[in-house]
Amino acid sequence: MSTSPATPSAAAEPAVKAVQVHKAFGDLHVLKGVDLTVAPGTVTVILGPSGSGKSTFLRLINQLETLTGGVIEVQGERIGVKRVEGKNGTSYLQTLTDKEIARQRSHLGMVFQRFNLFPHMTALENVMEAPVHVLKMDKREARALAVKELERVGLGERLDYYPAQLSGGQQQRVAIARALAMKPDIMLFDEPTSALDPELVGEVLGVMRSLADDGMTMIVVTHEIGFAKEVADQVVFMDGGVVVEQGGPEIIDHPKEARFQDFLQHVL
Ligand code: ADP
Ligand code: MG
């Protein structure tokens, strides 16, 4: 279980609140009314079979896709649109500008199955890139920050290595450091260990566990059931574009819904 860094007030806004989220790609209705609330400083693990809409849901939170229906709020602020007062007491929804969307997205860090590091840059340069080019941070300051984040993921000795000189697990840890360097409030992980050789999974999960221990708010899509049991505050099982079952990590040992029981039998 993660512990919150500061004592959040009882009225603290949810980090993420999704209400009746729908997403269709043309005729393909992928998410069919997903509700989810994530409290600050907690870890939510999303489980579910391939094609159930898990990645789409994370991509919606991070505005890599646009909603077909429903509402997502991040730290109390609705994403993607704002309500504008019209004449005579009417109001309407207006799509946010790219700049406003970029500001909303800056609260979120995302780590994908494929690490997508820049191959021609060292670990250090990969982590410095966004602070320098997006945040316009001074290079010296960005370098110090990148060193700190790489040390945090256990790669303080690999600063000048290129991605091709690093193992998959090390590359994924650089990707985590790169996301952390942007000082996100919430980290989204989409099957961060699925592309790794089995012997490299543990080092990445270890970094994620220490982030959780530091109080980071995290939403993690993974098939790592052990991680879910030990680290999750909340477990969500999705299938067919809906949340089928959700609860504390104990639901993994005592699933109620047949579809969740079947799924667990296949992944364990
Ligand atoms: P999961 O991550 O649970 O495996 P996804 O969210 O990736 O599921 O995909 C759910 C469904 O949506 C799949 O049928 C997938 O093919 C479809 N899908 C995802 N992204 C797109 C897209 N950009 N265009 C069309 N279909 C998509
Ligand atoms: Mg996926």
Q: Ligand 1 pocket, 222 CB below 6 A?
A: no
Six token digits for residue 207: 């970094």
Ligand 2 centre distance from Cα of residue 88 (Å)? 45
Q: Report the alpha-carbon distance of residue 179 to residue 149 in Å, rounded.
A: 9
- Pick the ligand that lies closest to the CA of residue 195: 2
Max distance between CA atoms of the chain, in angstroms, equals: 64
ipTM of the complex: 0.98
- Please report the sign of the dihedral spanned by the C-alpha atoms of residue 219, residue 254, residue 205, residue 214: positive
Of 21, 45, 56, the residue with max ligand 1 atoms within 8 A of its CB, to mutate for a pocket test, comes to 56
- Please report the sign of the dihedral spanned by the C-alpha atoms of residue 42, residue 47, residue 52, residue 56: positive
Q: Which residues pair with 77 in a beta bridge?
A: 74
Q: Which residues pair with 242 in a beta bridge?
A: 239
Of 27, 28, 110, the residue with max ligand 1 atoms within 8 A of its CB, to mutate for a pocket test, comes to 28
Instruction: Evaluate whether residue 195 is within a structural domain.
Output: yes
Helix locations, 62-197, DSSP H: 98-105, 123-133, 139-152, 168-180
| Residue 146 φ then ψ, to 5° | -65, -40
Which portions of the chain are predicted below pLDDT 70? 1-11
Q: Ligand 1 pocket, 56 CB below 6 A?
A: yes
Instruction: Evaluate whether residue 246 is within a structural domain.
Output: yes
In ligand 1, the atom with minimum distance to the C-alpha of 48 is: 3
pLDDT on residue 86: 86
Per the listing, tokens 């949340």 go with 243
pLDDT on residue 8: 52
Range of the domain at 30: 16-267
Model pLDDT for residues 117-147, shown as the tens digit of each residue: 999 999 999 999 999 999 999 999 999 999 9
pTM of the full structure: 0.94
The answer for residues whose C-beta is within 8 angstroms of residue 111's C-beta and 6 or more apart is 172, 175, 176, 179, 187, 188, 189, 190, 192
Ligand 2 centre distance from Cα of residue 132 (Å)? 30
Instruction: Evaluate whether residue 253 is within a structural domain.
Output: yes
Instruction: Evaluate whether residue 1 is within a structural domain.
Output: no
* CATH number (domain holding residue 149): 3.40.50.300
Q: Which residues pair with 85 in a beta bridge?
A: 91
Q: Ligand 1 pocket, 50 CB below 6 A?
A: yes
Instruction: Evaluate whether residue 2 is within a structural domain.
Output: no
Instruction: Evaluate whether residue 226 is within a structural domain.
Output: yes
Instruction: Evaluate whether residue 5 is within a structural domain.
Output: no
Q: Ligand 1 pocket, 40 CB below 6 A?
A: no
Q: Ligand 1 pocket, 48 CB below 6 A?
A: yes
pLDDT on residue 147: 98
Tally of domains in the chain? 1
Ligand 1 centre distance from Cα of residue 27 (Å)? 12
Instruction: Evaluate whether residue 159 is within a structural domain.
Output: yes
- Pick the ligand that lies closest to the CA of residue 66: 1
Ligand 1 centre distance from Cα of residue 255 (Å)? 25
* Ligand 1 atom 7: residue of nearest CA: 55
